[in-house]
Each structure stands twice: as structure tokens, then as C-alpha cells.
Amino acid sequence: MTAIERVRRTRLTLAAGAIVVALAWGFAAALAILAALAFADVTSGTSQRDAGWHSVAAIVGGLVVATVLIWRSRRLTSVGRVALWLEEKIPGLHYSLVTAIEYDGVAANRPAIEAAVARHDIGAVTRRAVGRIVLPAIGAALTGLALLYVSPSSALGGAIFRSVTGKLPGAAAAVGNRLEGITVQVIPPAYTGERSTSLDDPASVSALIGSRIVLRGEGRAEGIIARAGATELKVEDARGGWMSGFAVPTRPTALMLRDRSYERIIVLQPRADNPPRIVLTSPERDSTLRAPRLMIRLTATATDDIGLEGAYFEYLVTTGSGEIFSARTITTPVQQFGGARRGPISGALDLASLNLKQGDVVSIRAITQDRNSLSGPGLATSDTRTFRIARAGEYDSVALEAAGPLPVDSSAMSQRMLIMMTEQLVREQKSLTRQQLVKRSTEIGDLEDRVRKRVHEILYEQEAGAAEDEHGAVEQADPHDHSDEPVPAHNRDLLEAYNALWEAVRSLQIAEPQPALPPMRVALKALDRARLANRMYLRGIPPKVIVDLARVRMTGKEKGSGNIRTPVSAADSARARFERRFSDAVELIESDPQRAVRAFTLLQVDALSSNPGFAAAVGEAIEAFRKGRDATLPLIRARRTLSGAPSATPGLPSWSGGP
Amino acid sequence: MPSRAEISSRVENVLRGLSFAALGLLIWLAFDRGRSETVVTARSANIESALADWSRMGISPDRIAVRLDSNPTPRQRDWLAALRGAGSQVSWSGSLSPVAVSVHPVTSPRGGLTILAAASGASPVIVSDDVGPLDTANARNGGASFSAPAATGIISARSGSTVATGLQHSTKPAKPLLVIGSAGWETKFVVTALEEDGWKVDASMRVAPGVSVTQGSSSAIDTSRYSAVIALDATAASRAQDIARYVAAGGGLVIAGPAAISDAFASLRASSPGRPDAPADLTSRAGAITLQSLPILPLSALRGDAIPIERRGSLIVSAARRHVAGRVLQHGYVDTWRWRLGGGEKSADEHREWWTKLVASAAMRGTTTAEASEGKPVDDAPLARLVEALGPAASGSGPGLASRAASISLWWLFIILSLSLLTEWALRRLRGLR
Amino acid sequence: MVGRAVSDFVFCTGRYESGDWDSAPTVPANLIDSIARYTEIPVGPAGVIVPLSSDAIFEYPLVYLTGHLPFRFTEAERRNVRRLVDRGGMIFLDDHNHDVGGVFHKTAMEEMTRTFAAPIDLPNTHPLYGAFFKFEDGPPTTSHELNGWGDNLVHKHLKAVMRGDRIAVLYSNKDYSSEWNYHPDNKRFSAVDNTRFGVNIIVYALTR
């Protein structure tokens, strides 16, 4: 091998070494940049999601380093420079190599030069020299790999390394904030027929009660804690990250997520399924009919916020008089709405089909229900329309006379009392002396006689000319009387009462209370019937009784007694608590903004039920904080909603603390 | 012909001489032999740095003139006063608006503040707290008053460029109230409204002779037990002597018109009630009743020491007076319960608020404690305190031209000295001499 | 009203659209008489009848309702009674049928539940039973409960819709409407005044 060939070989070796060194150092630089950026991300708490630019930065840095090193080694392209390098490394050459290169082929003493060159092991020297620069470079590359391995980087280098070596025990890869970039899927209840919706990184979630919420985020589930109010939620690994699913709570709740030192709060706002509404549009008003013949057109409109199931009409038919009534309920077939939010129903009611009689009342209403199969169904009824069939005498002008209630009322009351007194006397009879028995019995007899006379007066007023027989009984109406005027029902009752009272008075006045009781009871029933019969004629025109207050004031025999009142609780005790918490949160804004946002978020959750306006304004303030905007206006609005607006008055008050 | 080097050498000598002369002059001036006075000025924008500069000067300025376009902070004001005490003649100028602020807690469970801002003319006064602006009013007859249901931090009142600041005060919870009246709608709804607003209420509602519905123990009417007594009608007359003793000891009393009719309250009431006055269409206003539409027993014979509070046209509806150590507020509204039941959507809230304010304006105030300012400066009457510290504003445009020239001569001497030395050195270097 | 320093308590009978609201016409006079007999409460000498749908109802914080027929509120009536109760008023509703199987009771229960809340049994130790006269055993029995009509039961409890501790709506199956529906002058015949519980109701409404 000639000297030139040795030099050329050395040049190749050096070039190869330089390339290897450049590549190794470039690779080491790239890995070190990746590792350094990953560490920097962790320190600054920023997301690893933008690691793409890390790789770019690393590649660029590596290329720059490699390029610089190769550029610095450009002299190796020159044979002369390589020869000089060799001369420097091997002083014993005494420039023979350079000479050989300079005078290639034409030197006179070339064989001597070749021999001088050949005496030295240029290859070994070259290899040693290359080794001295290559080994550190390779060491640097390995160091870079090791650095990347221990770094939190999930970028290119780390992934390849892990994929080549597999998972090493005890090597927990540290990650950034796993609570960023959460997606929330809201799955409404099946009965609504609505599709699920997805929200990206929301600060609050509003969902129908009965919905299911699924949270998803990046990274592994281990170490993530989720709590909705006091309930701990399960967080599990899912494809591509972690997830947690739960049912929407029935009250506003703070969903607290924690990942090591990171915390996040999402406000859960449950919405209730409102009950439906139904409006009866026809018939428009109540009516009183002379005859039960009418075709009533029925229409109603039902509405609901989610979806209607169906609606129908209900008729309540009430029959009776006095205090005896019976009722029957009839419903029309249900008209289905199939989940529509608005539904009209219509029908027709033929009153003739209900077999109504005088005095009967038909109450008509529409009823609807929604499709809420979880907490309902919600039910709604419309206003009621009433159709009444008038009684025969209602249109008689006499019956409509504005008269007070018959004193029969008071007679009935007294009669009941007299019966009780007589029953008491009968119980005590055995323990009384004859004198006592006579005294008490005649007293009751006198009272009973007064009642009898009062009933006689009423009868006399109403049946002028009616005469008493020698026993005081009023002549009974002749059952064969062919007069055109039938005896009114109430008068027949009064006659029966009058005659029974006569019998009772006779027994009482001869101190025989026991035999007096049956006719007294007959009289009571008759008086009741008479009293009730009269009431129907006076419907709509109640009597006016004016109490003589001056006469009766404080004449009551019994005295009342003092008693203690229980205090009423404050109407809005939550407001004072919210005001305190609001002030405390405002004071944190300058010193600890993150804690301030946390405090406002929890306040918003607590206020959602009792003061939704205030909660909404606090929510706006939180949104402003998050976006770095000025939150003054939302905070002012929140405080005014909670506590009321301030007021200003020009001038200083003449009375301090005046209203 | 002198060479360049010679010329340069001569110039250097001249400069050296100039330097010695400047140095000599500086030394001479330092011995303060009838030197002209130093006058310094500053404006609001740079007063903070100027104060520091003046204080670092070896000799404090003879005259300090400050032009203010906003009130200095208490610290700056005190600093100027200290410079004045150290011998400087301090004057200030500028048209600062006078404003002062006073912050009082409302004596009621719902809290709140009354803010009184004194200001001149009809200038607008803006009141704010740590959150932001609270309200604005034009001053009239010396100022404006504000009522804030809630506020955070320090309260400030701004008029023009002057800002006065005040601290909130916290008070102990108000003591209970005592309501005395006959069983009826007014007594029932007054007690209910006050309780709904958070007051603790003792009550005595007379039903019949010797029969009352009571709440709490109203046996002793004492300033240690009650913030205020509310007498609604003549049934309270039987306790009039106890109530008078209570008010004289510092208690508060609210008398409604029907109670004031009784002569038992003659020594306490602000006025004997006049003939009743009622809007003609009262009965048709059911559903839209307001306080202004209620019948009244106007206060027609006001005592000399009574202050009218509220009017309806020419009639006085409410008035207040002091009775020894206590306060009495009398109103003439009849059946305020009608407003609560028959008013608009918020009438129950308004009725409640009105009664609380009424009671709060007469009730005994508890002891108050100023809340911590957390290091923020508080200045409730900035202009007054400025005048107190530094005297009234000076007229004139500031220091004269000659004195201004004298005050800056030291700097010029220093500049001349520095330049001459530097130039001499540069010339020598250029000549190559060492 | 303005001429008096303290306005009178005026007994109000509520008029509703759906049934026979006027079935006990002398109850107001009887109770007014009782209030005057036993208390010093200023009271109007006659009662008033006010439609529930009218805003005039807010002049009367205690409203008496009774009837036999179906009991249903119109929207306007429902709005008004709700507002009356929310602002501190009280309603006394009595089943004149005294029949828990009857149409008045069923519809009234439905309307109360729909308008306010489901009524609960009022404990017989409630302050209502000591508001003026003492009723140790709870609501006094009426002579109509076992008269063969209605459900023929003695109802041990009244029912109430509460607002906190306050009775907002008092509901009775005991037929006080029949018990008190007589001219007040006839009290002189009674050994025991059976309207005393009505005094308790009114005093309770005026003080709670």
C-alpha cells in the first residue's frame, strides 16, 4: 500500500468517524432536548398534549448539532490535511508523508519515503484517534437515551424505548394534568326519546333528572378521585383514557375531580321534568239549564316540556239534595299523543245520555299525563266547567224572594237540645224525688211548648186560616182535597212536627219524660226535613244577619285562657350565609385567584336551588375569571341579585338611620 | 505656529482649570454661605418618587411645592408633613373636591350599611367597594346618603378627583324586639314580617281582659333585653310608663298611629295624630295596594324637637325625636298589613323591608368594631386631613424663575465638572500620553 | 274603616264557582257573635261574601269555605288562594257533607293537594286547640257526625296544610258548618256553646 493509499484510507476512517460522532452527538442532543422539555412541562404544569412540537424541536436541535460537527470536520475531505494530521500524530514520519503526497509519483527518493511511511502503523494511530472521539459521542447518545427514559416525556424517543424494552417494573411514567380536556356525555332517560349530547371541557352540566352522565379524559384512571357531593364515584380505565359514569343527582351538586395536586369542579344542574298543562277551551263557562238537553262541544289543549302520553275528559255527575249527595265519574277514552309536546283533544257530551234529573250537577274537566316513567307520570287537570240542571221551583218568582232563613232552623237546634235534656232526665229519674222530677219535666215541657208555638206561628203565617182543634193540633190536609194547590212538602213536615210536639208537651207536663222522647225525635226529623227543603229555595241569596255587638260584647259565660305563640322562622336565612361566603370569595380574588374560583363554584352549586338568579350571575363571574376577563360586572350583578340593589338619596338625612 | 499637541495641551489646561473652578464652587456652596434656597416641585403622578428623592438629599429642600390633581394617600400626606417638620416649607395647590365618608352598619338582622358622603354643591358622588361601584347620587345640601344591603371590603366615596375611604364596622347581633298590640291582622303581620326578616320578637297580643297570646317573656322592658319596643295600638298604653323609662335609658320605640292616639304616650310621641286621611278609591285598589295608598293618621301637631321623616303632600306621615337617651319614631300608617296582602308581586318583601328599616332607625345600636383594613390605607376625609397637615391650598403658580435657576445650579456645576474632566482625559488619551 | 284606630276583623265567606258555597249562611253571624261574647277583638257586625277569584279576597286574611257539591278551583281562584296563603292568610274549609266517601271531600282533597300540598292530620295537641278555649281531646265532636248521614264517623283529627309551624289551610270533615249554622240568638238555649271552637280558629288566625 502506498503512502497515498494509506492517507486515503485514513481519510475514509476519519470521515466515517466524524460522521458517527456527528450523528451520535446530534442524537444525544435531540434526546436531551426532549427530556429537558418534558421536565420543563412538568415543572410548569402545562399539558403534554402538545408534545408534537417537542419532537420537532428535538429533531431540529439534533440536526443543528450534527451539521455543526460535520462542518467542523470538513477539512477531512482534503488528503493534504489528513496527511498533516498524521504527521502531527506521528512525529516520526518527519514529513515524509506530506512529501509523498505533495510529490506524488515524481519524488526521486520515493521508495525511501514509502519505506519511512511504512515503518509506522498509521492504521492503529488512526483507529485510536477515532476511538477517542467516537466513544464519548456514543456515550453521550446513551446518556441522552437514559435521560429520556427517566423523563416524563411521552414523545417519540420515550415511546420507542418503551416499546423496544417493554414495561419495566417500578417504572411509573409521570403524566400531566389528566383533568384537562374532559368530555362529558349526557344520556337522557329513555322515555324522553332524546339523543345523547356531548360537551367539551364544560364548567357546568345541565341535565334532566334520570339522565346518565359519562365523563372521559386522557391518561390512566389510577389516582383519579371523583366525588359528586358526598358520593364517591367509580373511575375506571377505558379505551384511550379514563372514564366515570353516574346518574344525575336530584339536587344541584358539585362534581369534584382530583388528580394528585390538580383539582377541578364541575357544577351539576339537574332539571326536573315539569308536569304537563292542559287548558279546557270549550265549554267556556258554567251554565244552568232548565232541561238536561244539550250537546256540549269539548275541546282542550295539552302541552308538556318533554312529551305527552295522552289525555281524556272526565265527567263528574252529582245527584242529591239537602245533605245527601251521590256522585258518579265517567271518563272518555284516552287519546294518545305518542310523545308529542302539544296535543289537542276534542269530544262531545250529550247531556241527555246522562239521565240527569233536576238539581243534578255535571262537572267537566280534561286530564292529561306525560311520559315520565321515572318519577311520574306527571298529571295535569284543567279548570272545571259546571252544568247544573235547575230545580222546578228555581224559576218561580216566589221562590226567589229574598227572605231570611226560616226560624225553623232555630227550632231544630232547640229541639235537639231538648231531646238531650229529656234523655238526661230519664237517666237520672230514679235518683230524683217526685218533686224534682215534676219540676224539671215541666220546665222542659214549657220549652218544648215554646217550640211548638213557634212552629204554629210559622204554619199560621204560611197557611192563613189554618185553625187549631181543641187539642191544638192543626187539621191535617184532607187527603181527598181536590184543590189545585198541593200542600208544599215543607208544610207537611211542619205539620207532622207540630203534632208530634203536642204529644211530647203533654207527656212532659205530666212528668212522664220517657214517653215524650219518641214524638220529640219524630218532631226533630220533621223539622230537619223542613229546614233542608227550604234551603234549596234560597240558593244564591244567603240571609244577612247583623249581630248586635254592643249587646253581646263580653257576655259569654266562659273565659278563655292565654297561650303561647311559636316564633316564625326567618324567610331567607340562606341569604346571610351566601352573603358571607360571597364576601370571603371576593377577598380571595387578589391573593389566591384559584381558591377564589373554587369558592365561587361551590357557592354557585349551593345557591342553584334557592336562588337561581344569584347562581347564574356567579356562574358568569366564574366564566369571566376562567377566560381572564374583568369579572366586576357579573360580581356586582350577583350581589344585587342576592342582597338587593343599593339605593341613593341626594342630601344627608336629618335623622340618622332613617328609613 | 503651535503644533497640534501644543494646542491640545492648552485646551487640556483650560479644561483642568474649569474643573478646579467648578469643584471650588461646589465646595464653597456646601458651606451654605447665603446660598439661594432650593425649591422643588412635584405633581400627583410623581409625588411618590419625588418624596423619596427629597428625603435622600443631603440638605432637605427649602421649599416644596406640590401640585395635586388627586388627593395624596395618607402616607404621602404624612411624609409631606414630616418634611415640613424637618424645616422645609411645604405648600400644595390644586382644585381638590371636598368629600368625606362615614359608614354605619344598619341595626337589623339582615345587616347592610348606611353610607353618608359629605360633598359640596351638586357634584356627583360615586360610592364603591372592593367589588365595584355601588351607587351614584348628586350631592344636595351638603352630601348624599346611600343604603347598601351588602358590601365587601373598604368603602370609598369619590367626588371629582378626591376619594374618601372608610372601613365597615361589624356589630353584635341586634337584641330582640317587643311588639305590643291587640290580637288582629296588624299585630299578627307586623310580628310575622319582623320574624321573617330575622328579628327575634317577643310579643303580647291582647285577646280579652286578662287573656293574651304571648311570645317570649315581656315582663321587664329593659335596654338589656330589647333593641326596640313597637307599640301598635291602645293596648300598649297600659305599659306606657315602663316604655317611657326604657326609652329614657336609651331604648328605641316605634309608635304606630293607633297607639299614639292614647294620651299615655303623650310624653313620648312626636305628635298627636290628626284626622284620618285615606285615598278615595282604597277599596277598589285591592291587588295594587302600596304604602302610599294606605290610609294614614297624619302627624298634625309636631313637637318642637321632632324631625319630620316622611310626608304625603302637605301631611307629615312619620317623624322622629330623641327622648333623653333613646329614640322614638312615630308613623301614621293604618293597617300596613293590607299592603302585604293586597299589594303587588313583591309586596310581602317590601312590607318586611319597610318594617325592618323603620325599626332599625329607632332601635338601640349595639357596640361596633371596625373591620380590619388588611394593610389598605383608609382616609375618610382626605381634603380636611390634608389641610390639617399642610394648611390650605396655596394660590400662585409655583416657585419663581430665579429660585428655580438657583435650585438647579448644583446640577449644572456637576455636569460642567464631569464634562471638563472627561474631555481632558479623552484629549490626553488621544495624544498618547499616559 | 279609616274612622277606627284599629280595623275590625271581618268574617269572610269565600264564593267559589264550582259548587254551593252558600250552604251555611248563618255560620258567619254565629261566629261573629261568639267573638264578641268572649273577646275584645274588634269585629264587623256582619260577614262579607267575596269571590275567590276577586282581588278583594286579599282584604280578608281568613276565608271560610264550605259546601256539598264538587269543590274545584278555577285558575284565578287557585292563584288567589295560593297568594293569600303564601302571604300569611288562612283558609278554613269544612265538608258540609261530613262524608269522606262523598264528592266534596274527594274533590276538596284533590284541590288542596294540587294547590298547596297534601293535607296532613293535625295532632290533637296542636296549639289551635288551646288558642283560646282549651280542647284537651282535640277537635270537638259535632252532633252531625253520627246523625246517620254522611260517613257516620267521628273524625278524630282535622287536617291541615302547614306553612312551617303555621296552619295555612284547615280542613274539617266534622261538619262544623251544620253545627254552627243557626241564628246566634239561640245560643241561650244551649248549656254549652258549641261555637267555642270557632273562636279558637279565629283567634289562631289573628295571632299566628
| C102 neighbourhood in chain A, CB within 8 Å | 325, 327
| Cα of C175 to nearest chain B Cα, Å | 27
Residue B405 CA, distance from chain mean position: 44
**CB within 8 Å: A417 and C17:** no
pLDDT at res. A481? 39
Instruction: Specify the range with the lowest mean pLDDT, choosing from A571-585, A597-611, B359-373, C192-206.
Output: B359-373
Amino acid, res. B111: G
The minimal CB distance from C206 to the residues B185, B208, B276 is found for B185
Q: How far apart are CA A99 and CA B291, in angstroms?
A: 121
| Contacts of A499 by beta carbon, 8 Å cutoff, 6+ apart | A473, A474
Q: Is the bond preceding residue A283 a cis peptide, omega within 30 degrees?
A: yes
CA–CA separation, C207 and A361 (whole Å): 39
Query: Which carries the bigger pLDDT value, residue A194 or residue A49?
Result: A194
**Rounded to whole angstroms, how far apart are CA atoms A209 and C83?**
29
Q: pLDDT tier at A478 (50, 70, 90 boundaries)?
A: very low
Does residue C128 contact residue C162 with C-beta atoms inside 8 Å? no
Query: Which residue from B187, B278, B341 is facing C58, i.e. has the nearest CB?
Result: B341
Of the listed ranges A532-541, B316-325, B363-372, B410-419, the least confidently predicted one is: A532-541
Nearest to B197 among A570, A579, A654 (CB): A570
- Please check whether residue A571 is in contact with residue B109, taking contact to mean a CB–CB distance below 8 angstroms: no
Q: Give residue A577's identity as a one-letter amino acid code.
A: R
Task: Give the CA count within 13 Å in the CB-facing half-sphere of C33.
Answer: 23
- Chains with ≥3 CB–CB distances under 8 Å to A: B, C
* Interface touch A636/B132, C-beta < 8 Å: yes
Sequential DSSP letters for C147-185:
SSSTT-------EEEEETTEEEEEEESS-HHHHT-S-GG
| C-alpha cell, A332 | 272518555
**β-pair partners for B323:** B326
Q: Which residue of C has its CA nearest to A362?
A: C70
B346-352, Cβ contacts within 8 angstroms, sequence gap of 24 or more: B347/B289, B347/B290, B347/C87, B348/B193, B348/C86, B348/C87, B348/C88, B350/B291, B351/B189, B351/B193, B352/A571, B352/B193, B352/B194, B352/B196, B352/B197
What confidence score (pLDDT) does residue B409 get?
63
Question: Does residue B15 contact residue B421 with C-beta atoms inside 8 Å?
Answer: yes
The pLDDT confidence band at residue A537, using thresholds 50, 70 and 90, is very low
List chain B residues with CB under 8 Å of A572. 196
pLDDT for B401 equals: 41
- Specify the higher pLDDT residue, A465 or A174: A174
Hey, is A522 helix, strand or coil? Answer: helix
pLDDT recorded at residue A43: 66
Mean pLDDT of B320-334: 94
CA distance A409 to chain C (A): 6
Give per-residue pLDDT as tens, A638-647. Answer: 999 998 889 9
The predicted-structure confidence for A207-222, as pLDDT tens digits, reads as follows 999 999 999 999 999 9
**In this structure, are strands B368-370 and B169-171 parallel, antiparallel, or unpaired?**
antiparallel
Q: pLDDT tier at B187 (50, 70, 90 boundaries)?
A: very high
Q: Which residue has the higher pLDDT, C165 or A110?
A: C165
* Domains in chain C: ranges and CATH: 12-207 (3.40.50.12140)
* Beta-carbon separation of B207 and A560 below 8 A: yes
Q: What superfamily does domain A183-271 belong to in CATH?
A: Immunoglobulins (2.60.40.10)
Q: What is the rounded end-to-end Cα distance, in angstroms, of chain C?
A: 23
Chain C interface includes B202 (CB < 8 A): no
Residues of A in contact with B360 (CB under 8 A): 657, 659
Query: Does C67 reach chain A within 8 Å, measured CB to CB?
Result: no
Separation of alpha carbons B166 and B373, rounded Å: 9
- Tell me: pLDDT of C21 over 70: yes
> Is the distance from CB of A360 to CB of C134 less than 8 angstroms?
no
The ranges assigned to domains in chain A are: 3-165, 183-271, 298-395, 408-475+488-537, 573-643
The continuous run of DSSP H or E covering B49 comes out as helix B47-56
Q: CB distance from A572 to chain C under 8 Å?
A: no
Whether pLDDT at B95 is above 50: yes
Residues of B in contact with A553 (CB under 8 A): none
Pinpoint the residues of chain B covered by CATH 3.40.50.880. 177-365
Q: Is the pLDDT at A224 greater than 90, yes or no? A: yes
Chain C residues in contact with A546 by the CB 8 A cut-off are 29, 45-46
- Rg from Cα positions in chain C: 16
Residue B240 has pLDDT above 90, yes or no: yes
For range A577-583, the mean pLDDT: 91
| Mean pLDDT of the B40-56 span | 89
Computed on alpha carbons and rounded to an integer, the radius of gyration of chain A in Å comes to 54
Query: Does A568 sit within 8 Å of B146, measured CB to CB?
Result: no
In this predicted model, what pLDDT tens digit does every residue of A126-166 receive, in sequence order?
Answer: 999 999 999 999 999 999 888 887 776 654 445 555 555 54
Q: CB of C19 within 8 A of CB of C102?
A: no
The Cα B270–Cα B318 span in angstroms is 9
The helix (H) or strand (E) run that includes residue A410 is helix A408-428
Average pLDDT on B238-264 reads 94
CB atoms within 10 A of CB A204: 22
Fold matches, A183-271 and A298-395: yes
Distance CA B276, CA C3 (A): 7
Residues of A in contact with C189 (CB under 8 A): 413-414, 417, 447
SS3 readout for C24-57: CCCHHHHHHHHHHHHCCCCECCCCEEEECCCHHH
Check B258 against C40: CB less than 8 A apart: no
pLDDT at B279: 66
Check CB contact under 8 Å for A568 and B195.
yes
Cross-chain residue pair C88–B233, CB shorter than 8 Å? no
Length of chain B equals 434
Q: How far is B420 from chain A (nearest CA, A)?
A: 51
Q: Which residues of C touch A384 (CB under 8 A)?
A: 18, 70, 72, 74
Contact A562 B361 (CB under 8 A): no
**Closest CB from C46, C103, C132 relative to A560:** C132
Mean pLDDT of B115-133: 92
Residues A25-45 pLDDT 10s: 999 999 998 888 887 776 665
Split at pLDDT 50, 70, 90, the class of C149 is: low
Instruction: Specify which residues A367 forms β-bridges with.
Output: A312, A381
- Do residues A278 and A300 touch, judged by C-beta distance below 8 A? yes
**Chain B adjacent subunits, 3+ CB pairs under 8 A:** A, C
**CATH architecture for the domain at B177-365:** 3-Layer(aba) Sandwich (3.40)
Distance, in Å, from the CA atom of B397 to the CA atom of B93, rounded to the nearest integer, reads: 8
Residues from chain B contacting residue C42 (CB–CB below 8 Å): 182, 184
Assess B184–A contact: CB distance below 8 Å, yes or no: no
Angle at CA of residue A301, ends A295 and A307, nearest 5°: 140
Question: Which of A597, A576, A580, A579 lies closest to A588 in space, CA to CA?
Answer: A597
Q: What percent of chain B shows pLDDT beyond 70?
A: 91
Q: How much is the pLDDT for B374?
A: 66
Phi, psi (degrees; rounded to nearest 5) at A283: -75, 155
* Distance in Å, alpha carbon of C199 to nearest chain B alpha carbon: 11
Pairing of strands B228-231, B177-182: parallel
Task: Examine the pLDDT at A268 and tell me if it is beyond 90.
Answer: yes
- Cβ-in-10-Å burial (0-12, 13-18, 19+) of A144 comes to buried
**How much is the mean pLDDT over chain A?**
83
How far B113 CA lies from chain A's nearest CA (Å)?
9
CA distances from A511 to A445, A453, A633 (A): 9, 20, 93
Amino acid at A507: S
Q: Which amino acid is at B392?
A: P
Residue C6, pLDDT score = 60
Specify whether the CB–CB gap between A370 and A304 falls below 8 A. yes
Three-state DSSP string of A134-187: HHHHHHHHHHHHHHHHHCCCCCHHHHHHHHHHCCCCCCCCCCCCCCCCCEEEEE
Residue B433: the pLDDT is 54
Give Cα separations from B105 to A127, B78, B111, B169, B374 (angstroms). 92, 29, 7, 6, 19
Contact (CB<8Å) B132/A633:
yes
The pLDDT tens digits of the residues spanning A405-460 come to 344 444 444 677 788 889 989 999 999 999 999 999 998 898 888 888 878 877 76
In contact, A232 and A225? CB cutoff 8 Å: yes
Q: Where in chain B is the domain with CATH 2.60.40?
A: 99-171+370-384
Whether B337 contacts chain C with CB within 8 A: yes
Which residue in the set C29, C37, C149 is minimally distant from A556, CB to CB?
A: C37
Contact (CB<8Å) B205/A563: no
Residues of C in contact with B288 (CB under 8 A): 55
Count of H-run helices and E-run strands, chain C = 5, 7
Q: Is A323 at the interface with chain C, CB within 8 A? A: yes
The span from the CA of A418 to the CA of C143, in Å, is 13
Strands A287-289 and A385-389: parallel
- Termini Cα distance of chain A: 116
Share of chain C above pLDDT 70, in %: 94
Higher pLDDT: A540 or B151? It is B151
Q: How far is CA A554 from CA A278, B212, C40, C135, in A?
A: 52, 15, 7, 21
- Percent of chain A at pLDDT exceeding 90: 47
CATH topology of domain B99-171+370-384: Immunoglobulin-like (2.60.40)
Q: Which amino acid is at B133?
A: P
* Confidence band for B30, pLDDT divided at 50, 70 and 90: low
- For residue C48, the chain A residue with the least C-alpha distance is A544
| A-chain residues near C149 (CB < 8 A) | 323-324
Q: Average per-residue pLDDT in chain C?
A: 90
Quickly name the fold that domain A298-395 has: Immunoglobulin-like (2.60.40)
The Cα–Cα gap between A615 and A622 comes to 10
Q: How many CA atoms lie within 13 A of A239 on its CB side?
A: 0
Residue C5 has pLDDT above 80, yes or no: no
Chain C segment 5-44 residues within 8 A of A by beta carbon are: 13, 17-20, 22-23, 25-26, 28-29, 32-34, 36-40, 43
- The average confidence (pLDDT) of chain B is 87
Q: What is the pLDDT of residue C44?
A: 93
- Predicted pLDDT of residue B253: 97
User: Residue A539 above 70 pLDDT?
Assistant: no
Give the Cα separation of A367 and A353 in Å (integer): 21
